[in-house]
Every structure is written in C-alpha cells, then in structure tokens.
C-alpha cells in the first residue's frame, strides 16, 4: 500500500513504489523532470538520478517530491527534507511551519506538477512532470541559486532557494512553495 493512499481515495492517482526519473535540461535556464512515480522513502529518493544533487534544479525537483511525501507521512517527509537540506536539518520552527501549512490540506505541493489544477482537485497527470525555471536574478548571490516553479493554482511562479556546498552539491536553503493557492473545486463552496 502506498503512503499516498492516505491522501487520495482513488488508487489510480497514486504513485507506484518503484520510481524512475529523467531530467531534460534546456539551455534557457529551464529544466523539466519526469517521474514515473513519486519516491515513498528516503532510500527510493536517494536511488533517483537527481539524487546526485549536482544541479540546483535536481534539488528543487526532489524538494517538491519530499513536500508531497510530507503531506502523506510527516516522518518520511522530514527524513527527505533533512537529507535535502544537507548540514542544516529542519529545526522546531521549520517543522511547526510545515505542520501549519498542511493543516488546510495536502494539495499545495501536488499543484506544481503538470495537469494539477483546481478543477481536478490538484491531481497531477502521470507521469509526474515538473518544470523549474531560473529567473533573471537566479545567480544574484554567489553560492546560491534562486529558482521558480509554477503552480496550477496560482498566477505567479513560486520561489525556491538552493545553496551550493563546497563539494559542488546543491542543498535546499529556503522554499516559498507552501503559500496559498486557489481552493480545489471539492473544497470551494461556490463551485
């Protein structure tokens, strides 16, 4: 049974336990990642090609996956996020913030995948596809990379900041992905 079964009633919309992913870099400061399934454990995440963390885009893509897992299982999601944060694990404030953001529902991190919109209650198309872009100020601070990800429930892309460690790996520094988006249709009393 998938950990995402807690979030969705339909088994058809759940990721299978095995996962394959492929990154397709585009020279315009944009990369698209396609996941056959979302990782459901830290070991599955670390087995993905993106787990080398040699690109800030890889770390950003895995962060979205980890936030989806956090919505289903906070313990596993915390393990993933701590690994993505490298030498700076989540503190009590960070965990409190995450818990607060998921009180209103689990749909926000799923909204970053292609096909996830309010009308379908943010159910992503499969395979799970995610596009990450570098804006004009992506490299404003040396050693950091500011990237943007579009949500199917917002007009503006959301920001994620990565930091490069001395060994060349990129780690999650800060994310602004869990901000409000439009209500899913099933939760909208006016729909």
Sheet order of strands, 21-26 included: 21-26, 30-35, 128-134, 144-149, 158-164, 170-175
Q: CA of 43: how far to CAs of 40, 83, 181, 184, in Å?
A: 8, 11, 31, 31
pLDDT of residue 8: 61
- Separation CA 25–CA 18 (nearest Å): 23
pLDDT of residue 104: 73
Domain residue ranges in the chain: 3-181
- Give, in degrees to the nearest 5, the angle at Cα 93 between 87 and 94: 55
In a structure prediction context, what are the per-residue pLDDT tens digits for the chain, which is 191 residues long?
677 776 665 334 433 333 444 443 333 599 999 999 999 999 999 999 999 999 999 999 999 999 999 999 999 999 999 999 999 999 999 999 999 999 877 899 999 999 999 999 999 999 999 999 998 899 999 999 999 999 999 999 999 999 999 999 999 999 999 999 999 988 888 87
- Separation CA 132–CA 25 (nearest Å): 10
pLDDT of residue 189: 81
* Residues 191 and 76 sit within 8 Å (Cβ to Cβ): no
Helices in the chain by DSSP H: which ranges? Answer: 42-46, 56-72, 74-85, 92-101, 107-110
- Give the helix/strand (H/E) hosting 131: strand 128-134
- Separation CA 129–CA 35 (nearest Å): 6
What pTM did the predictor assign?
Answer: 0.86
């Amino acid at each position: 049974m998938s950990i995402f079964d807690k979030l969705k009633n339909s088994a058809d919309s759940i990721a299978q336990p095995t996962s394959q992913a492929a990154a397709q870099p585009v020279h315009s400061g944009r990369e698209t990642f396609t996941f056959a399934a979302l990782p459901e454990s830290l070991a599955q995440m670390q087995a993905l090609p993106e787990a080398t963390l040699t690109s800030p885009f890889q770390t950003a893509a895995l962060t979205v996956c980890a936030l989806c897992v956090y919505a289903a299982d906070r313990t596993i999601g915390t393990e993933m996020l701590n690994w993505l944060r490298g030498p700076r694990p989540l503190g009590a404030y960070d965990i409190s913030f995450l818990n607060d953001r998921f009180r209103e529902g689990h749909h926000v991190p799923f909204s970053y995948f292609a096909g996830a919109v309010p009308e379908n209650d943010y159910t992503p198309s499969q395979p799970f596809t995610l596009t990450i872009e570098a804006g004009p100020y992506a490299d404003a601070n040396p050693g950091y990379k500011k990237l943007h990800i579009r949500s199917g429930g917002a007009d503006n892309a959301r920001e994620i900041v990565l930091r490069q460690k001395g060994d060349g790996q990129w780690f999650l520094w800060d994310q602004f992905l869990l901000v409000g988006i439009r209500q899913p249709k099933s939760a909208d009393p006016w729909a």
